């Protein structure tokens, strides 16, 4: 090299940044969709376990910059309804 530092083209760099952001947001969208689906399934079966998994997926979506409020709400509802169902089941079997 002749001692001159290489200068990256700002247009190419911004294109690469846009592609990385689109990829990250796409992954966040998948996590958000998964949290909603798992949260809905948790309303009918596996409430507590599905609630935990849905909450984790919603947190991953938010880490990728995508809001996942519906996933968190469904996860909380799964956890609460699962605990209530478990408590009722245990109290009726005694």
Distances in whole angstroms, Cα of residue 78 to Cα of each of 32, 45, 49, 73, 86: 16, 9, 8, 9, 12
* pLDDT tens digits, 54-91: 999 999 999 888 888 999 999 999 999 999 999 999 99
Quick check: 11 pLDDT over 70?
Answer: no
Q: Do residues 68 and 39 touch, judged by C-beta distance below 8 A?
A: no
Quick check: 2 pLDDT over 70?
Answer: no
């Amino acid at each position: 090299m002749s001692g001159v530092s290489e200068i990256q083209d700002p247009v190419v760099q911004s294109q690469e940044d846009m592609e990385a952001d689109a990829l990250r947001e796409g992954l966040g969208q998948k996590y958000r969709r998964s949290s909603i689906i798992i949260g809905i399934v948790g309303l009918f079966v596996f409430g507590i376990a599905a609630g935990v998994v849905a909450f984790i997926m919603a947190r991953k979506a938010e880490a990728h910059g995508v809001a996942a409020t519906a996933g968190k709400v469904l996860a909380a509802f799964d956890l609460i309804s699962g605990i209530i169902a478990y408590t009722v089941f245990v109290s009726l079997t005694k």
